[in-house]
Structure 1
C-alpha cells in the first residue's frame, strides 16, 4: 500500500496489541486511542486495524499518524443509550451565534482531529456510524430570516424541534463520523462511510486536504469543506438523499470569516437514492421528499454558509444522479469568484439543474457587507429528466447583480411541463431568504431564467421540453449579453426569447 506520508511506514502499531477485541461487543475506544498516542509520541507511524468489528466512542487523531482500516475492518459507532460510555463533549469555542450546532463542534465525532498535522485514514475498511445522530440545534442568530428554507414554512414547531434537538440532548452524543478542525496535510482515502450522522466528514479551516476514492451512503451531509484551502476531492461516490453530498462552505464557525480557496472536486458521483441503497446496489427511489420538504438532495453545492467567500474552485467530470442540480450560492457577505464547473452529467434532476444565487441574508456579525459573485464559467454540462417547474437560474439582486457568467455548451432536457402555469406577476426578490431553487416557485421560463446579471455570455445552449406554456428563456435586468448557438425545441411552439426592457439586445 502506498502511504501518503512514507515516513510513517517505519513504525507499525496494531490496535489488537493495545487490547482491541474487534468482536463488535466490547468497547475498543481505549485501544485505538492508545495505539494512536503511541504512534504519534514515537515520531509517527502506522496504526493498523485488522479485520474485525470495533465498537468505539470518540477516537482522537494525533499528528504524524496513518490509520489503515484493512479489508474486513469496521469501526462501529457505539450507542450512548446502550453502551457504557459517551462521545467527547462538544468543545467550548465561545459564542456560536451565526452557525448551527453541527458546524460549530468537532470533538463530538466518532473520529476527530484538532490542529493535527500529517494525518491519514486509509481503507479499504468501513466506518459505520449507525449510532450517530443527525440532530442538533440551529443557529442562535436572532434575526432568523433566512435561517431555514422557505419550503419548511408549513412545518409545525414540533416537526422542526424533532430535526433540531436542543444542546442538552447532544451532550455525550456523536453527530459526525469524521470531524477535522484547523488541521494541516490530511489524507482520507479508500474507505467506506455508512450512516455518518449530521456529517460523514466535516473539515473546517483545514489546509492541504486530499479526499479520494471514498464511498459514502448516509442520511444527511456527505463531505463538508468549510473554509478549507488547497483541497482535492476525487473519485468519491456520495449518496445523501436528505442533504448535500459534496458541499463547500465558508462559515463563521471559527469566529472569523475564512475563505474557501483552491479546491478541486473531480471525477465524483453524487446521488439522492434511498439511504443505504448505494451500498447494497439497489439504488432505491421510494423516498421522494427531503426533510426540508423539497425533493431529494444529493448534490454538489457552494454555500449556503458563505461569510468568507469562495475563490479558485474547480468542479470537473462529475455525475449527478437523482439529485438537485449544481448550486453556487453566496448570501452571507462572501465573494464568489473564479469558479469553473465543466464536464458534468446530470440525470433525474429534482429541482433546477443550475442555480446561481447572490442574496442578502447576512447571517454574521453587525457590519457584515453584501457579497458578490463574478467570474463563473459553466461548460459542457448535460442534464436530463429535469423537474419542469424549475429552469436553470442565475438570480442576483437589483443592487448587486451577478457578474461575468459564461454558459458554454449546455444541454438541458426537461420533463413534461404542460401543467406549469405561472401567474403573470414578477417573481419576488426574497433578498434575505434561504437560497433554494424552489424559493421563487415555478420559474418564469422553462429553460433559462436570469435576473440581475451583468455580463452574460452564452455560446451553445440547447433546451428541450415535451411541452410547456412558458417561454424557454426569460432575461430580466440582464445587461451586456452576448449569445450564439441557442436552440430550444418543444412539441408546442413557444414564444421564444423574452427580454425585459432593461436587458441588452442579443
Structure 2
C-alpha cells in the first residue's frame, strides 16, 4: 500500500519495479597478529549439526576451505536454522570468523551462540559467486560443548532465495603474550594523571612486535591524542574509560579544505587518529569520552579537537562492542564520533551513544569508503546524522564509494538517522539499508541528498522500518551546490524503498524536492512499496 509519498511540486519521476544493485559483501575478518594463538576451525560440511527441518547438502568447490561447503536447500525460509555442536578444549575469549559462499540465491543469517545473538547479521547475497568471510565479534566460552546456530532472518531484495551456506567458522584466542597492558607502560588510569605517553608507548611496542592487543583495564585514562598504528587492537574493558584531555593534536594542513567543512578536512585533531594503516581494531565494552574537550563547532579552538576517532586511507578497520548486551560506548565526541575517509573494509558494530544533551553532533561519517558494514547501533541522542555516507573532495580527488551494508540502527537525532550526502563529489553505489528504528528525527529517517555532482546508483531500504516523529520519513533531493571541481548536476537512480511505517510525521509520507531546474529529470527508477504514515 502506497499513499501520498511525494508532494505535487516534487520531481517528475518514473516509478517502476526496476532495481539494479550489484554485489553486497560480507566484511572480511580483522585478525590481529599475535605472538601465539589457539585457533579452532570447524568445517560446515563435517561438523556435527542439526536443523530446523530443512535439507542440507555438501558441495565440492576447490575455493572452499577443505574443498567443500555446506548449503541449505531452496526450501529454506525465514526462521530456518542449522545448529553445530562443537567442543571447546579451553576456556577463553575467542574471536569468531564465519566463512561462506555468496551467490544470487542467498539469504541473510544471524549467528547465536548457546542461545544468545552473536555479532551482526550476514547478507550472503552477491551478483557474482565468491567465497568470503565476516567477523562476528568476540565471545567468552567455557571449556566443553557449545552450540553455534545460524538462523535465516530475511533476504536481500535482489536475492532469489533464502538459502544459506556455511563454509567454516573459526575461533581464535589471542595468547596473553600478545597483550600490552597500558598500565605496564606507566598509565595510571586514575582520571587525573596524563596517560598519553604511556598509551602511545604501549601501541608503539605492540606495533614493533608485529601487532598485538593494547588493553585498557578498569579505570579512567585521561589522554591527549592517541596515535594509532597498523596491526593493533585497542581493547577497552568494561569499567574502562578513555577520556579526552585538552591538548589534542593540531589539525594538519589541507589544500582542499575549501571544498567541505573544517571537520571533514582534517584528521589529526582527534582523540585517536591514524593514516595509511592496515588492520586496526578499537573494540570492547568500555567508554570513549570526549569529556567536553572535543568541539561540535566548525571552528574548534586550539588544543580542543573535534572528533573521537579519525582514520584516513586505511584498510581492514573494526570499531565496536561484543554483542547487543555488551556494546562499546561513544559519548561527547564533538563533531564526529567516527570520521572514516578513504577507508576500505570497515566494520562498525554494537555501539551505544548515551543521551547527552550537547557535545554530540554526527555519529558515523563514512566518506568515500568501500566494503563497509554498520550494524547494531543504538544512539540515544545526537544533533546531526547518525549514519552518514558521503564522498567529498578532502583527499584532493573524487573517490567512488561502493558496497555498503547498514542494518539494525536505532536512534534519536535532530537531523537524519540515515543519510547519503550531503557531501557527494564522488559516485556512490550498492547501498543496502535495513531495519531502521527511528525514535525521532528533526529531518528524516532515510535521506538521499545529492548536491555536488555525484551519481547515486543502487540503494535498497528494506526489512522492518519504523519511524516516529520525523519531519519527513523519506527525503530525496538533488541540488547543484557544486562543492567539487567540475561539479554539475548529479543523479539518483535505482532506489527501492520497502516496508516503512511512519507515525507522528510532521510532513507528508515522503518529500522529493529539487533546488535546480536542471536536476528535475535526474532521478530514475525509484520504487516505493508499503509505506504507511500517520500525521
TM-score bracket for the superposition, by shorter chain length: 0.5 to 0.7
**How far 1:347 moved relative to its partner?**
3.5
Q: Provide the C-alpha distance between the structure 2 equivalents of 1:297 and 1:44, rounded to a whole number of angstroms.
A: 39
Cα deviations across residues 337-395 of structure 1 (Å, max 9, x unaligned)? Answer: 10001124334323111111111111122x222211100000111111111x4441123
Residue aligning to 1:2 = 94
Contact 2:181 2:202 in 1 (8 A): yes
In the alignment, what sits opposite 1:194? 331
Match of 1:50 in 2: 217
Structure with the greater relative contact order (CA < 8 A, sep ≥ 6): 1 or 2?
Answer: 2
Identify the range of structure 1 (20-29 vs 238-247) with the bigger mean alpha-carbon deviation: 238-247
Structure 1 residue corresponding to 2:186, chosen from 3, 6, 19 = 19
Partner of 1:408: 529
Distance verdict in 2 for CA 1:236–1:209, change over 3 Å = same
Deviation at 1:238, TM superposition (A): 1.9
Q: Tell me the distance in 1 between the aligned counterparts of 2:422 and 2:432.
A: 18
Aligned to 1:340: 460
RMSD of aligned residue pairs (Cα, Å) = 1.8
CA distance in 2, matches of 1:216, 1:97: 31
Q: CA deviation at 1:398?
A: 4.3
Q: Match of 2:395, SS?
A: coil
Where 2:415 maps in the other structure, the secondary structure is coil
1:115 paired with 2:282, answer no
User: Displacement of 1:298 after TM fit?
Assistant: 4.8
Cα deviations by residue, 1:426-450 (Å, 9 ceiling, x for unpaired): xxxxxxxxxxxxxxxxxxxxxxxxx
Q: Is the 1:8–1:65 contact (alpha carbons within 8 Å) kept by the matching residues of 2?
A: no
Distance 1:269 1:404, change over 3 A: same
Asked if 1:303 corresponds to 2:395, the answer is no
Deviations 1:302-343 (A, max 9, x none): 101011121000111121111132111111000001000112
| 1:69 aligned onto 2:161 | no
Which of 386, 394, 401 is matched with 1:260 structurally? 401
TM superposition shift of 1:8: 6.3
How big is the shift at 1:7? 8.8
1:399 deviates by 3.1
Say if 2:256 and 2:393, in contact at 8 Å, map to a contact too: no
Q: Which residue of 1 aligns with 2:3?
A: none
The yes-or-no answer on 1:369 pairing with 2:488 is yes
Q: CA deviation at 1:71?
A: 1.1
SS in 1 for 2:472: coil
Is there any run of 5+ residues in structure 2 with no aligned partner, and where? 1-92, 96-134, 138-171, 322-327
Distance in 1 (alpha carbons) for counterparts of 2:297 and 2:319: 26
The aligned residue for residue 421 of structure 1 is none
Residue pairs, 1:210-221, within 5 angstroms: 210-217=347-354, 219-221=360-362
TM-score between both structures, scaled by the size of structure 1: 0.67
1:115-172 Cα shifts (integer Å, max 9, x gaps):
11001011111011123333444xxxxxxxxxxxxxxxxxxxxxxxxxxx3xxx5332
Structure 1's unaligned 5+ residue stretches are 81-85, 138-164, 273-295, 415-506
Equivalences, count: 353
1:245 aligns with 2:245: no
Tell me the distance in 2 between the aligned counterparts of 1:309 and 1:410: 28
Cα 1:308/1:331, change in 2 over 3 Å? same
CA distance change for structure 1 residues 134 and 309 in 2, over 3 Å: closer, same or farther?
A: farther
Q: 1:184 pairs with 315, 321, 343, which one? A: 315
**Secondary structure in 2 matching 1:352:** strand
| Gap change, CA 1:49 and 1:207, over 3 Å in 2 | same
1:306-455 alignment, distance < 5 Å: 306-323=424-441, 324-365=444-485, 367-387=486-506, 389-396=507-514, 398-400=517-519, 401=521, 402-414=523-535
* TM-score between the two structures when normalised by the length of structure 2: 0.64
